[in-house]
Amino acid sequence: MGRKRTKSGKIRLAEVAELAGVSPITASRFFRNPEALSVGKRTRVESAARELGYVPNLAARALASQRTEVIGVVIPSLTNNVFSDVLRGIYDASEGGRYSIQLANTRYSILQEEKLLRLFLAQKPAGLIVTGIDQTAESRSMLEAAECPIVQIMELGSNPVDMMIGFSHYEAGRAAIAHLLTQGFRRIGFLGARMDPRVQRRFEGYQAAMKEADLFDPRLIVTTPVATSATLGGTLFADLLTQAPDIEAVFCVNDDLALGVLFECQRRHIAVPERMAIVGFNDLEFMACAVPALTSVRTNRYEMGRNAATMLIEAIEGRRPNEAVVDLGFAVMERQSSLGPRHARTRRPGKIGRRTNKMVALPSPTN
Amino acid sequence: MGRKRTKSGKIRLAEVAELAGVSPITASRFFRNPEALSVGKRTRVESAARELGYVPNLAARALASQRTEVIGVVIPSLTNNVFSDVLRGIYDASEGGRYSIQLANTRYSILQEEKLLRLFLAQKPAGLIVTGIDQTAESRSMLEAAECPIVQIMELGSNPVDMMIGFSHYEAGRAAIAHLLTQGFRRIGFLGARMDPRVQRRFEGYQAAMKEADLFDPRLIVTTPVATSATLGGTLFADLLTQAPDIEAVFCVNDDLALGVLFECQRRHIAVPERMAIVGFNDLEFMACAVPALTSVRTNRYEMGRNAATMLIEAIEGRRPNEAVVDLGFAVMERQSSLGPRHARTRRPGKIGRRTNKMVALPSPTN
DNA sequence: GTCGCCTTTGGTAGCGCTGTCAATCTTCCT
DNA sequence: AGGAAGATTGACAGCGCTACCAAAGGCGAC
């Protein structure tokens, strides 16, 4: 049988097979399809592998089988909370299974995305999870030519490359505005940062809702390509106030901006929601415990990641899901920050929105 | 030369070599050590590879060379902002290089960590980044036996497995308390959640500082193993207030808790910092723009990730850093939320901390 | 002119595993 | 009992690349 061990001292499949008294190929089968073995051999191989502490060499397996057990995940940002939730779902779903996750970060560049996809695809991944539906034409055709299952996440669209899971950012944006309109607000501002495709579609939802209500006014809008932050929320809000001092409510494309707006209101002694309603997006954890509690559009990010990975793995293993496109929906979490005059009036008849609310007097900042 | 293409239609090294008019091994060398080729062959191989769109087969390379170009990263959480910053640094540093990142999440379990390390090590990674210094004995000996460079991140300790980059959580905790003491606060509470080893060490720093000042009192402390959140911050703070109504300041082990405390103070009309000072930890972005601006201990998370990956790659390639242990330090970002009576007195002589600050009167929550 | 040394190139032989297909053994009919 | 169908098992031949070592080429010194 020649050498017993590889020079590195590693246990190979051949050693396991020898100890179990079977051929290497039978031992190999044990790891890929245990049911194909007779019970006797199965237990013999199993205990031999355990005894020797055998760990399969993935490189050899990949080379021989001409496929890897790698799931590629292409996301635009590692910083954004949104994606860390999605990622957590993906990792949770893949945990314990045979597939390993390979992450790539496009930093919101579709050219970078194209490069990364080319790299991934060249390694024949078992499956791919990509963010959104706005790939370059080249990326799109690479994806369509790919032999592995693919899940597009975060958004919905009419022609999925393969599978798709997400929700309509357009509808979510509309719903946020519909809620504010129901609450009786008319001059509703829009605060947008980074303006990636998904933010863009929320923006379109805002525009549609405002136009339908005949309330659209470009002065109500402040956007920037700059990356989002709470501080930026305060800055943009200040700009918005300058542009449209009569504003009654703000829809922020994410919760960081909303938090910044809340703080800016506190700084300027603008009562929320009496003089300014605030609605955020994503419903991060802190929104519910802010003072006042901040309304936000809840999205199912963890579930999105989890389901995407689950669907993908099922598809890899030949069990394609019934529905190729899954809408995870969203929910407007109505909280105090968007309580409108209409509602307020019901509860406290009289001079609502007219009270002179005093905020705590604050010493000037120290740094 | 036999078959020209692999059945999958992929370009192999042999095709590149043929087009370039060199032997496969020479072409191989081009990708590993271009300087070893004569200029003529180098350019010929380069253009041949480009023309054919050659992408090396990593599995074959790994199998043949008996090593992978994978850097394993073991972190305890994917949700925690802290780690997303670290990860971003790691990915940024590895980008464009030959190494790919393989992530594993221990969920704060050192047993899980041991399992993951075993898995990683079995695949002979090029290098490893692990979080913290509190591995199991078994993990520790596996790491010590590993043939690849290893960087421990997040903390400092006296006996690194190999390299180490981080800061002293103990000293950071102490410094936060020292700052509050300097500001004249005496009854300083401690709010801790999740209580992982790093939080534990900040706690030890708190205890040491308080004992030295002869101010230690167990009633000032509220901790929980539960995962952290802003809402939890509010809850723990409420408990703390019950336990020690005369509290003057709170040190929160992270910024989410601090944000929750701020909101809870707003809810209870407790003036910050006049009646309650707040100090957080990590200095997330929103801390500076809160109202009042929240004091926090800044940590260099992105730099930590970036340097860890850079050091590791250098070491993998044989250029070991001069210093195996790097202290990235921290900084107490002193802001308004911890402005003490002593300072305040200097600026506004008289009844400081005695003013009756009015917060905006808020309607009751809507959900 | 010849030798020795250094640089550049090529040949050979796997790395550890699995796909394919054939061989063997069961089981259960007729 | 004979045989078909199915269940198990094994032999062989690579997967695409690189380690190792040998060979060839280039150059200056004596």
Q: How do residues A121-166 score in pLDDT, each as one tens digit?
A: 888 899 999 999 999 999 999 999 988 999 999 999 999 999 999 9
Share of chain B above pLDDT 70, in %: 90
Instruction: Say which of B62, B118, B289 has its CB closest to residue A234.
Output: B289
Where residue B355 falls among pLDDT bands split at 50, 70, 90? Answer: very low
Does the pLDDT value for residue B367 go beyond 60? no
Selected residues 211-270 of chain A with any CB under 8 Å from a CB in chain B: 229-231, 233-234, 256, 259-260, 263-264, 266-267
How far B165 CA lies from chain A's nearest CA (Å)?
21
pLDDT in tens, A24-77: 888 998 988 888 888 888 888 888 888 888 888 888 999 898 888 899 999 999
Phi, psi (deg, nearest 5) at residue A279:
-130, 130
Indicate whether B238 and B337 sit together in one domain: yes
**Residue A361 maps to a domain:** no
Between CA A38 and CA A50, with CA A44 as vertex, the angle to 5 degrees is: 130
Q: What pLDDT sits at residue A96?
A: 81
Please indicate, yes or no, whether residues A284 and A215 belong to a single structural domain of this protein: yes
Which residue on chain A is closest to B339 by alpha carbon?
Answer: A366
Interchain contact A366–B (C-beta under 8 A): yes
Same domain, A337 and A313: no
Task: Say which range, A7-11, B11-15, B98-102, has the weakest mean pLDDT.
Answer: A7-11
- CA angle B271/B274/B275 to nearest 5° reads 65
Whether B85 has a pLDDT exceeding 90, the answer reads yes
Contact predicate A252/A220, CB 8 Å: no
- Nearest CB to A335: which of B68, B344, B365? B365
**Number of independent structural domains in chain A:** 3
Q: Mean pLDDT, chain A, as a whole number?
A: 88
- The pLDDT confidence band at residue B97, using thresholds 50, 70 and 90, is confident
Nucleotides of C under 7 A from a protein CB: 8-12, 14-20
Mean local confidence (pLDDT), B341-362: 38
A23: domain CATH number is 1.10.260
Neighbouring CB atoms inside 10 A of A96's CB total 7
Residues B252 and B343 in one domain: yes
When CB atoms are compared, the residue of B272, B333, B367 closest to A334 is: B367
> What pLDDT does residue A268 have?
97
- What residues form DSSP beta bridges with A70? A100
Look up tokens 């002589």; give the residue: B349
Domain contains A155: yes
A145–B contact, CB cutoff 8 A = no
Q: How far is A345 from chain B (nearest CA, A)?
A: 12
Q: Are residues B174 and B224 in the same domain?
A: yes
Q: What is the pLDDT of residue A2?
A: 34
Closest-approach residue (CA) in chain A for B89: A78
Instruction: Collect all residues of chain B within an 8 Å Cβ-Cβ radius of residue A66.
Output: 8
Backbone angles phi, psi at A249, to 5 degrees: -155, 155
Residue B123 sits in the same domain as residue B232: no
What does each C-alpha distance from A84 to A101, A112, A255, A256, A327 come to in angstroms?
14, 20, 15, 15, 20
Which of A12-16, A351-355, B58-62, B186-190 is predicted least confidently? Answer: A351-355
> Residue B21, class by beta-carbon neighbours within 10 Å (0-12 exposed, 13-18 middle, 19+ buried)?
exposed
From chain B residues 299-328, the ones with a CB under 8 A of any chain A CB are none
Mutate to test the interface with A, among B16, B256, B286, B348 (most CBs of A within 10 A): B286
Confidence of residue A351 (pLDDT cuts 50, 70, 90): very low
What stretches of A146-269 show up as alpha helix (H) in DSSP?
Answer: 169-182, 197-212, 230-243, 255-268
Residue with tokens 């078994």: B138
If asked whether residues B271 and B324 sit together in one domain, one would say no
Same domain for B185 and B94? no
Structure tokens of A191? 């605060």
Which residues of chain B make contact with A353, given a CB cutoff of 8 A?
A: none
The reply to whether A173 and A274 lie within a common domain is yes
pLDDT at B334: 97
Residue whose entry in the numeric block shows the structure tokens 């670290």: B86
pLDDT, one tens digit per residue, over A227-236 is 999 999 999 9
**What b/e sequence results for B98-118 when a residue is b if at least 16 CB atoms lie within 10 Å of its CB, and e otherwise?**
ebbbbbbbbbbebebbbebbe
Residue A1 lies in a domain: no
Residue B274 has pLDDT above 70, yes or no: yes
- The type of residue at B101 is I
- Determine phi and psi for A205, rounding to 5 degrees: -60, -45
On whether residue B25 sits in a domain, the answer given is yes
CATH number for B308: 3.40.50.2300
DSSP A36: G
Helix axes A39-52, A24-32, angle to 10 degrees: 90
Q: State pLDDT tens for residues B129-187.
A: 999 999 999 999 999 998 899 999 999 999 999 999 999 999 999 999 999 999 999 99
DSSP state of A163: E
A285 in reach of chain B (CB within 8 A): yes
Q: Is the pLDDT of residue A366 over 90?
A: no
Whether B357 is covered by a domain: the verdict is no
* More confident position, A135 or A351: A135
pLDDT at A9: 55
**Exposure b/e, B171-201, CB count within 10 A at least 16 = b:** bbbbbbbbbbbebbbeebbbbbbbbbbbbbb
The reply to whether A182 touches chain B by the CB within 8 Å rule is no
Let me know whether A107 and A133 are in one domain.
yes
| Gyration radius of chain A over CA positions | 27
CA torsion B162-B167-B170-B176 (nearest 10°) is 180
What is the least distance, in Å, from the CA of A269 to any CA of chain B? 9
Structure tokens at A9: 């001292």
The predicted model gives B197-209 an average pLDDT of 97
Q: Which residues of A touch B352 (CB under 8 A)?
A: none
Q: Pick from B91, B357, B359: which is nearest to A105 by CB?
A: B91
DSSP output for B320-347: --S-SEEE--EEEE--GGG--HHHHHHH
pLDDT value for B5: 39
The CA distance from B124 to B69, in Å, is 9
Asked if A352 contacts A274 with a C-beta cutoff of 8 angstroms, the reply is yes
Q: What pLDDT is stored for residue A362 in this prediction?
A: 32
Instruction: Check A63 against B68: CB less than 8 A apart.
Output: no
Residue of B nearest to A70 (CA): B102
The answer to whether residue A119 neighbours chain B at the CB level (below 8 Å) is yes
User: pLDDT at position B342, please?
Assistant: 59
Candidates A92, A362, A364: best to mutate against B (most CBs of B within 10 A) is: A362
Q: Is B279 on the interface with A (CB under 8 A)?
A: no
Q: Which nucleotide has its C1' atom closest to residue A20's CA? A: D9
Q: Are A316 and A353 in contact (CB under 8 A)?
A: no
Closest residue on chain A to B343 (Cα): A366
Whether B146 and B188 map to the same domain: the answer is no
What does the pLDDT average to over B306-313?
Answer: 96
Check whether residue A184 and residue A281 sit in a common domain.
yes
Residue A362 lies in a domain: no
pLDDT for the residue B162: 96
Which of A66, A291, A336 comes nearest B263 by C-beta? A291
- Residue B140 amino acid letter: R
Taking the CA of residue B26 and the C1' sugar atom of nucleotide D24, their distance in angstroms comes to 14
Which residue of B289, B306, B333, B354 to mutate against A (max A Cβ within 10 Å)?
Answer: B289
CA gap B169, A5 in Å, rounded = 45
Measured between alpha carbons, how far is B213 from B211 in angstroms, rounded to an integer? 5
Q: Tell me the residue range of the domain where B82 lies.
A: 70-167+303-329
- pLDDT tens digits for A202-249? 999 999 999 999 999 999 999 999 999 999 999 999 999 999 999 999
Tell me which chain A residues have a C-beta less than 8 angstroms from the C-beta of B285.
Answer: 229-231, 256
Strands (E), chain A: 70-75, 100-105, 127-131, 150-155, 163-167, 188-193, 221-224, 249-252, 277-282, 295-299, 325-327, 330-333
Q: Could you read off the pLDDT of B210-234 as tens digits, one per residue?
A: 999 999 999 999 999 999 999 999 9
Instruction: With CB atoms and an 8 Å threshold, state whether A79 touches B102.
Output: no
B286 to A348: CB separation less than 8 angstroms, yes or no = no
- A289 contacts in B (CB within 8 Å)? 230-231, 233-234, 260, 263-264
Cα A67 from Cα B347, distance rounded (Å): 70
A359 in any annotated domain: no
- Closest-CA residue of A relative to B98 is A119
Residue B44, phi then psi, degrees to nearest 5: -65, -45
Per the model's pLDDT, the better-predicted residue between B80 and A352 turns out to be B80
Is the pLDDT reported for residue B31 higher than 60?
yes
Interface size between A and B, measured as CB pairs under 8 A: 175
Q: Kindly indicate the confidence band of residue B361, based on its pLDDT and cuts at 50, 70 and 90.
A: very low
What confidence score (pLDDT) does residue A343 get? 52
**Strand C interface, protein residues by Cβ within 7 Å:** A 3, 6, 8, 10, 12-14, 24-25, 28, 31-32, 56-57, 60-61, 63-66; B 22-23, 25-26, 29, 36-38, 40-41, 60, 63-64, 66
Q: What is the mean pLDDT of residues B276-281?
A: 98
List the strands of the sheet with B188-193, edge to edge: B221-224, B188-193, B249-252, B277-282, B295-299, B330-333
Nucleotides of D under 7 A from a protein CB: 7-12, 14-20
CB B151 within 8 A of CB B311: yes
CB B232 within 8 A of CB A288: no
Smallest CA–C1' separation from B65: which nucleotide?
D18
